[in-house]
Amino acid sequence: MTRDLVGIQSRHDLSIAQVEALEERLYAFNAGRSGHDDAAPLAFVAEADGKLIGAAAGFTWGGVCELRQVWVDDAHRGAGLGRALVRKAIAEAGERGCSAVFLTTYDFQAPAFYAKLGFETVAAIVGKPRGHTEFAMRLQLDPSAAARPRSGMDVQENARSGDSERPNRSTASSLEAIQTQPCGSHPCPGALS
């Protein structure tokens, strides 16, 4: 009977709010099935003269970190800014008790850069996109980090304490300009499903 009521339509113009609603549903499902309801955003930004020149953004969830976006403006590449941003994210993941950091990158992006930082390739998807390869990479953190889980409350408390390494409201709003997958009040763990 339900099949008779279902109509599938082509909708390639979903709004950010509609995508966020989908992410919320995926997060609720994943949290319920995995027992992990501790998703927290993670982001570090670099600005010069009030302009965003680099960022590393992602989330922590279930004892791991996923970096979703790492970007440095062309004019600032080669000066160590990307390395500094990724290292800040790795350090934060460790402080949150994560046992590993995951990311994906393409052959035309930065797999060698991440390898120099200690990431290892755990999967290669040839032909994504056509003529190229996407790499899934992992950096294993100190195994004892997993034994020191921090609650979301701890993360929020650090943010309130004015930790200078965390983005302030103006840099956080700058970061919104490069977010490619908005995820509502949860930072993209729906994408893990």
Give the pLDDT band of residue 2 (cuts 50, 70, 90).
low
29 and 107 belong to one structural domain: no
91 and 162 belong to one structural domain: yes
132 and 55 belong to one structural domain: no
121 and 153 belong to one structural domain: no
* Global pTM value: 0.73
Coil, helix or strand for 17? helix
How far is Cα 73 from Cα 77, in angstroms, rounded to an integer? 6
135 and 104 belong to one structural domain: yes
Q: What is the mean pLDDT of residues 131-140?
A: 98
How far is Cα 65 from Cα 17, in angstroms, rounded to an integer? 24
Instruction: Please write the tens of the pLDDT for every residue from 17-75.
Output: 999 999 999 999 999 999 999 999 999 999 999 999 999 999 999 999 999 999 999 99
Give the pLDDT band of residue 143 (cuts 50, 70, 90).
low
Strands 100-106 and 133-140: antiparallel
**Which of 186, 176, 180 shows the shortest CA–CA distance to 26?**
186
Q: What is the mean pLDDT of residues 71-94?
A: 97
Mean pLDDT of the chain: 81
Q: With 50 as the cut, is the pLDDT of residue 162 above it? A: no
Beta bridge partners of 124: 135
Structural domain of 124:
100-140
Give the pLDDT band of residue 173 (cuts 50, 70, 90).
very low
The enclosing domain of 111 has a CATH number of 3.40.630.30
Phi, psi of 190 (to 5 degrees): -60, -30
